[in-house]
Structure 1
């Protein structure tokens, strides 16, 4: 179905209903820190219930790539730890996230599922990592680049903390050029601060700000909404 086949009146009515629902669900709290941190604090209690199905494709794909390797792995934006059980036990995993409520749920998951290969889970800003240079063999960064204020800083930090020759796996949604998805993204962009992510994020914002080599790129489900990029640090 193309946009031309959708009645304009139906689109307007649907957009209005979505806007009302989003306003009812999300109320920005500028008094409690960054909009991202506030948004994810609100998401934390229902995050797993809402996002397990749409995010699992990217998590499985990233874990599949990571599990080809061994050594130390950093997951940036670990959230509630949905991906942690997917990693091979030969990987020693550290996870960081800006949201302490999300991390608390991740710690509960680690204890509940006896994930002994998870070394640590820390509250940390992805654009200002406290790890030293070349601390990790690889890193996974899933659904994060549309959230952070400065993706270029995050990429620079990844290149710093991953060893030369190491791997960085990025999973992200990138803006559509046309069609129904592009229309939906423009609608959602009005609520980017309260949603906690940027629906109009373009792939060039990754490629233009890294010296790493893109070795593999793959569209992922559902409906090709997400893309996995596998980089090698020089």
Structure 2
């Protein structure tokens, strides 16, 4: 499976920012923030931060916010976003590869990754890098398409929930990319996380089961 590069995403900044503001993805982001709990006094990393909208949800609470993305244009958009919200002093955005994060071991209390790991040729490599940069007992929280995700099921979900226009287009594009990359059942994701020395794995279905939010803790001394 071919690895994607930053230039492929540079032209999609407007699309991804609009997608992050769709009703359906905003609800997923809200649920994901709820799953992570409080960010007070935490150093938080978002791997594949896009335009930074997910990190904004806990920006007032967190001690430090760091976003990485393969696309330099996404990083620029995130920097502008946080400048606009007067949060530049506690945030940093860097062009970086999920498989080679430019941080030392045990740097973060919480790592987020939405719609990123499933795009990698080998998601385990990216998740392993997150494990490395997390502190002991640090948490990883990810959003990935489930085994139920397909063009047909996404169309049905959009119809059932009266999703139309751009919101429908964005959902169907996501489902289309998912079917060409990686999709995970909860059992498959649990096994992957356990193999990478994560514990206390939990899953939360979103979008009618088309995607799952997975949460796990880095085992101490692992």
Normalising to structure 1: TM-score of the pair?
0.72
Partners of 1:55 and 1:133 in 2: CA distance? 31
Tell me the alpha carbon deviations over residues 43-77 of structure 1, each in whole angstroms, 9 at most, x when there is no partner.
11322223421322232122223342431111111
The offset of 1:205, in angstroms, is 5.5
Ranges in structure 1 where 5+ consecutive residues have no aligned partner: 1-29, 185-190
Q: In the alignment, what sits opposite 2:199?
A: 213
Matches of residues 158-169 of structure 1 in structure 2 within 5 Å?
158-169=130-141
Which residue in 2 is equivalent to 1:231? 216
Q: Relative to structure 1, is the Cα distance of residues 140 and 127 closer, same or farther in structure 2, using a 3 angstrom cutoff?
A: same
Q: Which runs of 4+ in 1 moved over 6 A?
A: none
- Per-residue CA distance 1:75-94 (angstroms, 9 max, x = gap): 11100112122114231211
Decide whether the 8 Å contact of 2:19 with 2:25 is kept in 1: no
Separation in 2 of the partners of 1:217 and 1:49?
Answer: 27
Residue ranges of structure 2 left out of the alignment (5+ in a row): 157-172
The answer for the alignment partner of 1:84 in structure 2 is: 55
Give the C-alpha shift of residue 198 in structure 1: 4.0
CA-to-aligned-CA distance 1:176-219 (integer Å, 9 cap, x gap): 289932899xxxxxx99x95984552242563242201432111
Partner of 2:11: 42
| 1:93 and 2:79 correspond | no
Task: Name the structure 1 match of 2:164.
Answer: none
Deviation at 1:231, TM superposition (A): 0.2
Distance 1:212 1:118 in 2: 28
CA contact (8 A) 2:75 2:93 kept: yes
Query: Residues 140-155 of structure 1 correspond to what in structure 2 (within 5 A)?
Result: 140-155=112-127
Does 2:44 match 1:73? yes
Shift in CA distance, 139/35, structure 1 to aligned 2, threshold 3 Å: closer
Residue correspondence of structure 1 range 55-204 to structure 2 within 5 A: 55-70=25-40, 71-91=42-62, 92-116=64-88, 118-176=90-148, 180-181=152-153, 195=177, 198=180, 200-203=182-185, 204=188
TM-score by length of 2: 0.75
- Once superposed, what is the RMSD of the aligned Cα atoms? 3.0
1:83 and 1:197 map into 2 onto residues whose CA distance is 24
Structure with bigger gyration radius: 1
Q: Tell me, in whole angstroms, the C-alpha distance in 2 between the residues paired with 1:200 and 1:134.
A: 28
* Count of aligned positions: 194
Report Cα offsets for 1:5-31 as digits up to 9, x if no partner.
Answer: xxxxxxxxxxxxxxxxxxxxxxxxx9x
Against the structure 1 CA distance between its residues 195 and 102, is the aligned structure 2 distance closer, same or farther, given a 3 Å change threshold?
farther
